[in-house]
Amino acid sequence: MNKEFRPDVIWFNSFIITVLCVFAVILVRFEALNIFFAFGLFGVFLLVAVLSYMIGLQRGLLLSVGVTFCYGSYLIYAVIISKEMTTVDPLDVAWLFLIPLISVLAAKLGECISRNESLAKDIEAIAELVTLDGDTGFYNNQGFFKKLDEEFWRAKRYNEAFTLLLLQIANFDEIQLAYGNVGASRILIAVAKNIDLKMRGTDVKGLLIDNMLGILMPGTNAEGAVTVVEKLHLFLTVVAVELEDGKKNIKVKPSIGAASFQESDIDVIEVYERARTELTFDRG
């Protein structure tokens, strides 16, 4: 939909046009008006608009009705009872309609903006779900590389450290032969869940292609990565998996490649390729 037909744009334009028209009339009739009284009403007019935007349509209308009732009562008193006003300027009467009008416009504008913000959050949440793996809660290949790219450029800009770990099960072919594709998939998911339990909450985990898991560790340099790799080798040697014939402890050979960010890196592919190279040398 074109932006000129969006409800929030329509209500915003209507709101601004109304305010500008009222202000223009006050300036044009500057000499004929009690200027302090007119600008006082204009201030009330804007105050009602702001409050209606914040509190919503129903309460905004109640507020505007209360204000117009008080102002209308004043006009009746000034014209009929106290005789302070011998003639009533059309603008004085127009306020009785302008205040409720601006209340409606401001409230509808607030509702549209609030609805758009809610929709934007929903879209963001859906986009996040699309990039997640349903079994592990890890990012999928697309989501992980998006996070990796974001971290790379952040590190490049602020000269901060991060390390990428790539992990494969070196004996995955043997596991597939022994337990079938379904069993091997469950074992890979069990490995991923063990990693999730042991790694930091700030680390980004991904279930990638070709029996590969990715771990992005922000703030971790090469020395820190060595310690992490050693720990991963220790606690991933045996994983408990619920297979079709019951729960079993499966021996796995985690193969891990690590690559830390370097200032000379041009893009994230260089970091990834270094990790892939290290992965080929570590056979679990």
What is residue 216's predicted lDDT score, i.e. its pLDDT?
94
What is residue 5's predicted lDDT score, i.e. its pLDDT?
64
| Distance of alpha carbon 208 from alpha carbon 194, whole angstroms | 16
Fold (topology level) of 132-281: Alpha-Beta Plaits (3.30.70)
| Distance of alpha carbon 141 from alpha carbon 251, whole angstroms | 26
| Distance of alpha carbon 87 from alpha carbon 78, whole angstroms | 10
| Distance of alpha carbon 18 from alpha carbon 117, whole angstroms | 25
What is residue 91's predicted lDDT score, i.e. its pLDDT?
82
| Distance of alpha carbon 242 from alpha carbon 109, whole angstroms | 55
* Spatial strand order in the sheet of 212-218: 204-207, 212-218, 162-169, 254-260
What is residue 70's predicted lDDT score, i.e. its pLDDT?
92
Nearest CA to 254 among 227, 281, 273, 236? 236
| Distance of alpha carbon 97 from alpha carbon 109, whole angstroms | 19
Domain with CATH 3.30.70.270 in the chain: 132-281
What is residue 189's predicted lDDT score, i.e. its pLDDT?
86
| Distance of alpha carbon 46 from alpha carbon 121, whole angstroms | 30
One-letter amino acid at 271 equals V
pLDDT under 70 in the chain at which residues?
Answer: 1-5, 31-33, 85-86, 119-120, 122-131, 134, 282-284
Question: Please, is 242 exposed, middle or buried when counting C-beta atoms within 10 Å of its C-beta (0-12, 13-18, 19+)?
Answer: exposed
Nearest CA to 205 among 155, 113, 140? 140
